[in-house]
A and B are shown apart, each in its own frame.
Chain A
Amino acid sequence: MAYNVLIVDDSTSMRAVIKKIVKASGFNVGKFFEASNGVEALKVLNEEWLDLVLTDYNMPDMNGLELVEEMNKDDHLKSIPAVMITTEGSRERVEEFMAKGVIEYIKKPFTPEQIKQKLKHIMGETEDEEQRYDNGDEELDF
């Protein structure tokens, strides 16, 4: 199964890097979508079929947590896993992320291997599907 992924970050360079790492991880991506803040992300989410949201926390207009809270108000959107990729590292903040519906948390700076492991966990991949990821290992040195 190929997953449609929405990357939300106000930095175009960070969006490009995350996209590259996700591709290199071997994760089976159907199509990438991008947004520079929560407001733009909601627009994309309401127009496209998405399987996974990777969002930064600290963004202008609507931050990542506000985005997740908005998603949780919608019966369809709340079923889409949202992952916070952020510099925020305090335990209290991470607990707040999880309490408000964020399914996983990835702290910047991150390595490609960390992204790979988190994505596998989130999408409930089984050992039988390891091969799909392993094929991407040789490209992990982005």
Chain B
Amino acid sequence: MKNKDMTTAMKNSISDVLETMFFLSLDFSDDIDILEQWDTGKDPVIAAKLSFSGPLSGYAVFCIPKKSALSITADFMGKDEQEISDDQINETIKEIINMIIGNTFSMYVPDVVFDLGVPELVEFHDSIKGLPDSEKSFSVVIETLENYMAFQMNFINA
């Protein structure tokens, strides 16, 4: 696996999904320390995880502060934030990770079939940190006008 190509596919996919369907203006940041700030628990963070299998197997995690998740969901559904339920926020975040992964693989290896699992919510503390050393991991920090998000892909058989 070419690390640069995978990271490029991830970034292109994230831009495609978040700009096309969520109208977000975004950039990518090298500030990995943002994850340490999230760890303080000051602003709750939602984490969604999705497993995949095929020529490459593993899982991905998408993390976003709840405040941003609420804003994105309201925009996505065309409603006011007061009208949005936690279930709708969670489903939107699961949809985002589903689209980003599917799109990433389409860009990275368009001729190869991957089976995607069903997205699930996980505890932030158990998700994007503390990965075993044997796993290959790619992380991207996404910077929007309001906040940060993070996306990580972890390969078990790379």
Assuming the contacts A14-B95, A20-B78, asked whether A90 and B20 have C-beta atoms less than 8 A apart, the reply is no
Q: Are A109 and B116 in contact (CB under 8 A)?
A: no
A10 to B94, CA, bound (A): 10
21 A-B contact pairs sorted by A residue (CB < 8 Å): A12-B87, A12-B91, A13-B73, A13-B76, A14-B91, A20-B78, A58-B118, A59-B118, A87-B116, A88-B116, A89-B106, A89-B110, A90-B110, A91-B110, A92-B112, A108-B103, A109-B20, A109-B99, A109-B103, A110-B20, A111-B20
Residue of A at shortest CB range from B102?
A: A87
Interface assignment of A17: CB less than 8 Å from any CB of chain B: yes
Residue of B at shortest CB range from A24?
A: B78
Interface assignment of A11: CB less than 8 Å from any CB of chain B: yes
Which of B77, B92, B94, B102 is in CB contact (< 8 Å) with A108?
B102
Give min CB distance, B49 to chain A, whole Å.
Answer: 15
Chain B residues with CB below 8 A from A89, complex form? 102-103, 105-106, 110
Q: Are A12 and B106 in contact (CB under 8 A)?
A: no
Interface residues on A, range: 20 to 34
Give min CB distance, A86 to chain B, whole Å.
Answer: 7
Q: Are B95 and A88 in contact (CB under 8 A)?
A: no
User: A residues near B, CB below 8 A?
Assistant: 10-14, 16-17, 20, 58-60, 86-93, 107-111, 142
Give min CB distance, B122 to chain A, whole Å.
Answer: 17
Chain B 104-134 interface mask (CB, 8 Å, partner A; 1/0): 0110011111101010000000000000000
Q: Are B17 and A109 in contact (CB under 8 A)?
A: yes
A89 to B103, CA, bound (A): 7
Interface of A is mostly: loop
Residue of B at shortest CB range from A86?
A: B102
**Tally of B interface residues using CB under 8 Å:** 29
User: B residues near A, CB below 8 A?
Assistant: 16-17, 20-21, 73, 76-78, 87-88, 91-92, 94-95, 98-99, 101-103, 105-106, 109-114, 116, 118
A91 to B110, CA, bound (A): 6
Give min CB distance, A22 to chain B, whole Å.
Answer: 14
Chain B residues with CB below 8 A from A60, complex form? 118
Chain B residues with CB below 8 A from A20, complex form? 77-78
Assuming the contacts A14-B95, A89-B102, A90-B106, asked whether A58 and B116 have C-beta atoms less than 8 A apart, the reply is yes
A20 to B77, CA, bound (A): 8
A109 to B78, CA, bound (A): 17
Q: Are B118 and A11 in contact (CB under 8 A)?
A: no
Q: Are A87 and B77 in contact (CB under 8 A)?
A: no
Give min CB distance, B20 to chain A, whole Å.
Answer: 4
Q: Are B99 and A87 in contact (CB under 8 A)?
A: yes
Assuming the contacts A13-B77, A89-B102, asked whether A110 and B88 have C-beta atoms less than 8 A apart, the reply is no
Q: Are A13 and B95 in contact (CB under 8 A)?
A: yes
Chain B residues with CB below 8 A from A92, complex form? 111-113
Q: Are A11 and B91 in contact (CB under 8 A)?
A: yes
